[in-house]
Each structure stands twice: as structure tokens, then as C-alpha cells.
Amino acid sequence: MPNRRRIEAAPRRGPNSRMNDLSVKPAPAVTLFGVNLSLGRGAARVHILKDIALNIGRGEAVGLVGPSGSGKSTLLMVMAGLERPDTGTVLVAGQDIGRLDEDALARFRGRQVGIVFQSFHLIPTMTALENVAVPLELAGAADAFARAERELAGVGLGERLAHYPAQLSGGEQQRVALARALAPHPAILVADEPTGNLDEATGSEIVDLMFAGRAARNTTLILVTHDANLAARCDRVVRMRSGRVEPAAPAKVIA
Ligand code: ADP
Ligand code: MG
């Protein structure tokens, strides 16, 4: 992409500008009801999500737990607008995302949904800076590169801007992915086992950064994890089993 210029922003909104508007009661960050999803063809077709109903408040941190194959990743993809359910309604930041066509949904995701995967999913041919800046640019930010630089500095990678993913450690790659996910100030951040490929110390650094980034922006966090300590850091734990959300357990108790 030629002729990238660094443009410092014209007046930026303060970090709390959204929260200062008290005139309307905020809608929940995520609402699902009657959500069913089957994937696969013919005999291989699997009913993965079964009558999911869920409400997640603005700024809430939810730990999504459950056995392997219970549908956690699929539910996260539905909330992120990357998978459309067969039935039911998915509202994210007040928007019924089922009503959006593919282009509008992609734009919505770019602005409102941050995603962190277990395996980082950086673009290998782009530097750390480009991995963060290009999605911002696509979302229409005029000052994408300056913002990306700040976001990377915020996760401790101010000295790694020109590095390619292959030149970064796993923990560093996940920090880039986190900076990329948080940079647009999305309404929701979904993370699918974000520490699953990292050693314990590196994973806990990522988790600290994720919670700090979330607190700074009042982002709603939905986190799939097998780590009981990590789940316990969330405001609430939602447990899945065989494609269903289990009835609410006492707060912060995970068996
Ligand atoms: P979890 O993240 O809890 O381990 P997943 O959401 O990845 O669970 O998967 C739930 C179930 O759906 C599993 O049984 C899995 O094999 C099945 N599944 C996932 N993706 C597909 C697909 N594209 N086609 C068919 N079955 C799938
Ligand atoms: Mg999974």
C-alpha cells in the first residue's frame, strides 16, 4: 500500500465522551435470543448452538467456559458476526446484526467488534504497525498509523513497530493482536482462549493487558478460557454444555 502518510489527528474525542452521554439508558452490549446454529452437510450436520439466550451488560467481563466441543467458539463467532445463526436474534451494541448485509456487517465488525484468537492470526506479510493500522484505516480512521503506534506502545511494543510477526515471540504477537483488536475502541472484545498458545507468565501478561485495555475503554469482554484463574477474574462465568448455556451458577464459582 503506497503513500502511507502519518497524519496526526484533528480534534479527537476524549476517552470518556461516549460515557458522558447520560440521556439514554445504554442497551446491553450483547443480547441473544432463540439462537440456533447447525453446521456441516448431510450426515455430518451438527446442531451446535441450541436455543441460546444471553444478555451481557455494557462493560461486563464474561468468562465463557465448558467442555471442548460444547460450542464456545461457535457462540463467540456468532456474537462477533462472523457466523450467522439459522434462527434467532443477535444484538450487539443495540444493532440487530442479522439485519445487516455482508458489507454493512463487515463495517460494523470493523468498528464495534475486536477479536483475539488463540493463534494470533496476524497477517505475516505486514509489520506489527501495519497489522494494527490497516484495519483502522479500513474502518475509516484518518490517523490510523499514529493511533496504531500509540496502541502498540500501550502494549509495550513501541520498539517493535517494524517487526514482522515471524520476528516476534508468541507473547509479542498476541500483544499486537490485542492492540489491533482494541484500537478501534470496539463495543465488544471477544477472545477465544487467548492464552492457550502461551506459557503461564506470558499468558498472564496478556491477560493483564486485556483487562487494562478493557477498563480504560469500558469495553465489554467475552472470553473463552479453560483457565479457572482467568475465568475467576471475570465479573461472571457463563458455562456451556452440549450447545446450551447452562442455568446461571452462583457468581464466580466454577467447578
Ligand atoms: P468449543 O469451542 O466449545 O470447543 P466449538 O464451537 O468449536 O466448541 O464446536 C462445537 C461443536 O461443533 C463441535 O462438536 C465441533 O466439532 C462442531 N463444529 C464446529 N465447527 C463445525 C463445522 N464447520 N462443521 C461441522 N461441525 C462443526
Ligand atoms: Mg473452541
The pLDDT confidence band at residue 235, using thresholds 50, 70 and 90, is: very high
Per-residue pLDDT for 3 more than 60? no
70 lines ligand 1 (CB under 6 A): yes
Q: For 185, phi and psi rounded to 5 degrees?
A: 55, 60
User: Would strands 46-56 and 30-39 be described as parallel, antiparallel, or unpaired?
Assistant: antiparallel
DSSP symbol at 64? E
Sequence-ordered strand ranges (E) for the chain: 30-39, 46-56, 61-65, 87-92, 95-96, 113-116, 188-192, 220-224, 236-241, 244-245
225 lines ligand 1 (CB under 6 A): no
Residue of the CA atom closest to atom 7 of ligand 1? 73
Given a cut of 70, whether residue 6 has pLDDT beyond it is: no
Question: Does any ligand 1 atom lie closer than 6 A to the CB of residue 48?
Answer: yes
pLDDT tens string 199-233 = 999 999 999 999 999 999 999 999 999 988 899 99
Per DSSP, 2 falls in state -
Give the ligand 1 atom nearest the CA of 224.
2
**Residue whose CA is at the smallest distance from ligand 1 atom 16:** 69
Atom 20 of ligand 1, residue of closest alpha carbon: 39
Closest to 127 (Cα-Cα) out of 3, 212, 213, 1: 1
**Average per-residue pLDDT for the chain:** 89
How far is residue 69's CA from residue 92's CA, in Å, rounded to a whole number?
Answer: 24
- Residue range 127-155: average pLDDT? 95
Cell of 80: 462477533
Q: How many angstroms separate the alpha carbon of residue 33 from the centre of ligand 2?
A: 21
The reported pLDDT for the residue numbered 139 is 87
Give the nearest ligand 1 atom to 45 CA. Answer: 25
Nearby residues of 53 by Cβ (< 8 Å), 6 or more positions away: 32, 33, 34, 35, 245
Other CB atoms closer than 10 Å to residue 194's CB: what's the count?
27
Q: Is 243 in the pocket of ligand 1 (CB under 6 A)?
A: no
Separation of 176 CA from ligand 1 center, angstroms?
27
For residue 178, report the distance from its CA to the centre of ligand 1, in Å. Answer: 24
Using DSSP, state whether 217 is helix, strand or coil.
helix
Nearest to 217 by CA among 77, 108, 114, 118: 114
pLDDT digits (tens, 9 = 90+) for 16-60: 444 445 555 567 999 999 999 999 999 999 999 999 999 999 999
Rg for the chain (alpha carbons), in Å?
A: 18
Which of 182, 181, 165, 183 is CA-nearest to residue 173?
165
Residues 63, 178: Cα–Cα separation, whole Å: 17
State the distance from the centre of ligand 1 to the C-alpha of 138, rounded, in angstroms.
30
